Amino acid sequence: MRSIPRRALLAAGLGLAVEAGAYAAGCIARTAGAGRGRRAATRASADDTVSEDPSEELRALPDGAAGWLAVAGTSIDRPVMQAAGNPDFYLSHDEDGEPSAFGSLYLDQRCAPGHIHLMVYGHHVLDMPDEMFSPIHDAYLPEVFEGIGEARLQEAGSDSMGSWQALCALRVDSSFTEIQRFGLEGDGFRQWLEGIVATADARAVGADGLVAEAARCLTLVTCSSAVGGQRWRTLLLFAR
């Protein structure tokens, strides 16, 4: 796998390699006629939010999926994609591989199912609060964070929907590099996670205890601005 500098991830928007020549705005305007592909069949209805306890029932993963993500208290309930050798593909393609302004949720190319730190990107779609990662674009606000429940993640190759506890959320500049740590283990991993929590804008009650027991971390990334093309990103972290 090609080595990509840390600065290339959030500095280029939602995680595109700079050398790919693309800039992910992260926050996009609704596009009339945008490709929706499998979207209607693979996400929760836009008229309903996910229940406080997302279903543990296994989902049928589409080809190219690294997993399936559902977040309680939001409408997020859809596949997480990953394209080998083409890290930015799902920024502008739906789960069917068809061009789409909304793109798909997708896993950072430096991660794989089962890794200690998983990072998932998704667009914030203006004026469509239930699409992609729009429901969490302002999760760094304590009053919004309080309404977010646990995440359920079915990783490719797994026979269960694993539970992840909401840990913290923060708003950062797109050049923020500290979140881009993927090879830490044991005490080093927990020390890193403790540092992230210490800088967070919103934290779970008992966050210190969650960090002390954490073996893995799931980070969701989207644009936090109400205007496209801005540098601010929301990071929402879960631990298990």
- 8-19+26-239 has CATH 3.30.70.20 classification: no
Q: What is the pLDDT of residues 192-230, one digit of tens each?
A: 999 999 999 999 999 999 999 999 999 999 999 888 788
Residue for token digits 């760094």? 140
Q: Dmax over Cα atoms in the chain, in whole Å? A: 49
Q: Which residues pair with 233 in a beta bridge?
A: 172, 223
Query: How confident is the model at residue 29, as a pLDDT?
Result: 60
Domain extent listing, the chain: 8-19+26-239
Q: Which residues of the chain have a pLDDT value below 50?
A: 1-25, 31-48, 50-51
Helices (H) then strands (E): counts for the chain: 5, 11
- Is the pTM of the predicted complex or chain greater than 0.85? no
Query: How confident is the model at residue 26, as a pLDDT?
Result: 60
Q: What would the DSSP string read from start to end of 21-62?
A: T----SEE---TT---TTHHHHS--TTSPPPSS---SPP-PP
CA distance 81 to 53: 23
Pair 220, 108: CB distance under 8 Å: no
